[in-house]
Amino acid sequence: MQEEDLLDVLLRVKEEGGLEFPITNNNIKAIFVDIFGGGTDTSSVTIEWAMTEMMRHPIVLEKAQSEVRETFKGNKKIMESDLQGLSYLQSVIKETLRLHPPIPMLVPRVCREHCKINGYDIPVKMKLIINAWACSTDPEYWDDAESFKPERFENSSVDFMGTNYHFIPFGSGRRMCPGINFGLTTVELFLAQMLYYFNWKLPDGLNPKDVDMMETEGAIAAKRVHLHLIPTSYASYN
């Protein structure tokens, strides 16, 4: 029997009925709009920034590529179920999300209780915007905060599950990103495949230091100028 996908499950639950709040077709459509809206740009932007930072830091690229090629030596395909033990690549992804959180200002909040922060009174119902990027690049919490150093996450317990407030690329609290595992797996699988199957070069002898690092304006911090790279097939995988 064919496995059910998410749409099958939602339609089945709707048909079975018996829920206190029945699911409607409109609810199902809204869920898919949310998933596509929340899940596409965020993941693709993270992949592009990760590749950009690796191209700017050839030693990091070499280390991540060696890890992937060593782990999958002789494999023709890399499957999602094989993604274990790529600890350096995971540090590269964390460091990418630290410097380039795709939604740097998170989703706005409304204050439920009066509070005081740094001497400022925040009244009830005040709209608040949290700058996740400022948190994850704050020199008070991060050594050499503006440098791309995946090694800082090796042997470190800091993670992005929403309780280390200096690193919240997926937000925190009840509106935290529900797609965190899906997003991370997509990014990791894509990067592992790119590093495994291809060698990468910047075009026209471009110096790594000269890669454009400007961001677009808006809710999503994408790369203003897309990264252009030249891939060559890595023959040893077959």
Residues that bind ligand HEM (CB under 6 A): 34-35, 38-39, 42-43, 46, 102-103, 106-107, 169-173, 175-179, 182-183, 187
The two three-digit tokens of residue 172, written as one number:
């925190």
For residue 116, what are the β-bridge partners?
A: 121
Helix axes 87-99, 25-56, angle to 10 degrees: 100
Shortest gap between Cβ of 203 and ligand HEM (angstroms)?
27
Q: Of 39 and 208, which has the nearer Cβ to ligand HEM?
A: 39
CA distance 29 to 23: 11
Q: Of 122 and 230, which has the nearer Cβ to ligand HEM?
A: 122
Shortest gap between Cβ of 128 and ligand HEM (angstroms)?
11
3-state helix, strand, coil split of the chain in percent (to 5) is: 45, 10, 45
Q: Of 89 and 106, which has the nearer Cβ to ligand HEM?
A: 106
φ/ψ bin of 49: left (φ > 0), alpha (ψ from -120 to 50), beta (otherwise): alpha
Q: Of 102 and 150, which has the nearer Cβ to ligand HEM?
A: 102
Shortest gap between Cβ of 183 and ligand HEM (angstroms)?
3
Angle at 175 between CA 171 and CA 181, to 5 degrees: 65
Q: Of 103 and 195, which has the nearer Cβ to ligand HEM?
A: 103
Shortest gap between Cβ of 187 and ligand HEM (angstroms)?
5
Shortest gap between Cβ of 55 and ligand HEM (angstroms)?
19
- Amino acid at the residue 214: M
